[in-house]
Amino acid sequence: MDIRPCTEKQLAEILAIFNDAILNTTALYDYKTRTMETMYAWYDDKINNGYPVVGAFNDNGMLLGFATYGMFRVRPAYKYTVEHSVYVRADMRGKGIGKVLLKEIIRKAEGQNFHVMVGVIDASNEISLKLHENEGFVLTGIMKEVGYKFGQWLDAAFYQLILKTPSEPTEE
């Protein structure tokens, strides 16, 4: 498995992974599938703001999963905090790809001097909860019934990991 940045070439594969998650899981609290147009805007936003989009690729260059992060909230005092996402292709789950991707974006966040990574995970997604706990994320709270999908109320679990960076934070 090769871990490297995703480019616009992978947007169709990223779209397929997103849309599978939308249609078949509670990993995304979306109802409607995304389009290539929305993917180009999503990717441009990530790149223009300096946020990585990292992929795991097989030997044939096929995308197996991806991870990214972005702004947590818009207020200036949150500038050292990012919210992350990790998605793995349905047929590749359970093979350790999510763990590798999560470790890579943690490394990238530290390299960009972020201090906290936040994950918002459907509280019934035991595999993702365990993955985050195993990598040092701590449950900070559960928001009850904040989502509604597949005919049921969904609870969102908030997890955070405090990073060692930055060494000299500022209020600028």
Average pLDDT along the chain: 96
Is residue 23's pLDDT more than 90? Answer: yes
Residues 59-75 have pLDDT tens digits of 999 999 999 999 999 99
Instruction: Tell me the helix, strand and coil percentages in the chain, rounded to 5.
Output: 35, 35, 35
Give the separation between CA 151 and CA 30, rounded to whole angstroms. 13
Residue 55, H or E segment: strand 53-57
Average pLDDT over residues 104-117: 97
Residue 58 in this model has a pLDDT that exceeds 90:
yes
Residue 85 has pLDDT above 90, yes or no: yes
Mean pLDDT of 147-171: 96
SS3 at position 74: coil
pLDDT at residue 172 tops 90: no
Question: What is the CATH superfamily name and number for domain 2-162?
Answer: Gcn5-related N-acetyltransferase (GNAT) (3.40.630.30)
Q: Indicate if the alpha-carbon torsion angle 137, 143, 145, 148 is positive or negative.
A: negative
Domain ranges of the chain: 2-162
Q: What is the pTM of this model?
A: 0.94
